[in-house]
Structure 1
Amino acid sequence: MTRDDFQKKLEAITKDADDIYTSPDFQCDQTGGFPTSLCVCWEKGKAWLAPNDFMITDLPDGQAKDILDACAEYGIRNCEDAEDFNNLLRGLGEDAFQTAYLPSEDEDEGMVM
């Protein structure tokens, strides 16, 4: 997916969305190890990668473009619940999963004290 296509689809997903979750930063091969988050719009069941906004502004334009292109290449994925979210993280690597894992509702219920 081109970056322009990605941005247009992302704008359509996030327009009027109230429930967008952004994970903590993690490193993954998709973005060359650059700190990245997995974002999800729970209302529409869509997830995407986003680079760390603060750090990307410090990069030279060419390097920032490469990272933004890598996020666009990852695309927009279906993500309906914590299980889908965690499966996407697993696909991005161990650091992504360990850093941004979401407990499922079943796990939350089992942790009652």
Structure 2
Amino acid sequence: MTIDEFEKRIKAITADTDFSDIHTSPDFQCDQTGGFPTSLCACFEKGKAWLELNENLLMDRDEMELDYYRQLCADFGIRDCADAGQFNTLLQNLGEDAYNSAYIPEEDESLEMGGM
């Protein structure tokens, strides 16, 4: 997928979604983005997740270099992600730093069922 296609798909996912409904992880480094600080974003309501570069670090980079990293995010694509479990699985697939930096603690189902 090209960078333009990727960005259009993200805009379509987020178009009628409140900013507060997009979960953006703390940034982490992973092989997928060549070690460039990245966040995993998810719209659980629409069941989709994608990678975004840490925009705060982009100011001193030229456009050609940035497009290289943006393409790595586009290569990851838009993934299915409807809950914290799927989000954490995506993080695990991205590597140890991703998971350790950004996992979402899941509820212990045995506690919800009265400790059975």
Q: Give TM-score scaled by structure 2 length.
A: 0.89
Q: How many Å apart are 1:59 and its aligned residue? A: 1.0
| Match of residue 103, structure 1, among 81, 102, 105 | 105
RMSD (Å) for aligned C-alpha atoms: 1.3
| Counterpart residue identity of residue 15, structure 2 | K
* Aligned counterpart, 1:56: 58
Runs of 4 or more off by more than 4 Å in structure 1?
none
Structure 2 spans left out of the alignment, 5+ residues: none
Q: Classify the secondary structure of the residue corresponding to 1:16.
A: coil
Q: Classify the secondary structure of the residue corresponding to 1:34.
A: coil
1:50-72: CA deviations, max 9, x gaps? 00011022212221110101001
* Aligned counterpart, 2:16: 16
| Match of residue 32, structure 1, among 24, 31, 34 | 34
| Match of residue 84, structure 1, among 72, 76, 86 | 86
Structure ID, larger Rg:
2
Q: Percent identity?
A: 58
| Counterpart residue identity of residue 37, structure 2 | P
Q: How many Å apart are 1:97 and its aligned residue? A: 0.3
Structure 1 spans left out of the alignment, 5+ residues: none
1:15-60: CA deviations, max 9, x gaps? 0112101000000001110000000011101000000011022212
| Match of residue 47, structure 1, among 46, 49, 52 | 49
Q: Classify the secondary structure of the residue corresponding to 2:91.
A: helix
Q: Give TM-score scaled by structure 1 length.
A: 0.91
Number of positions where the alignment pairs a residue of Structure 1 with one of Structure 2: 109
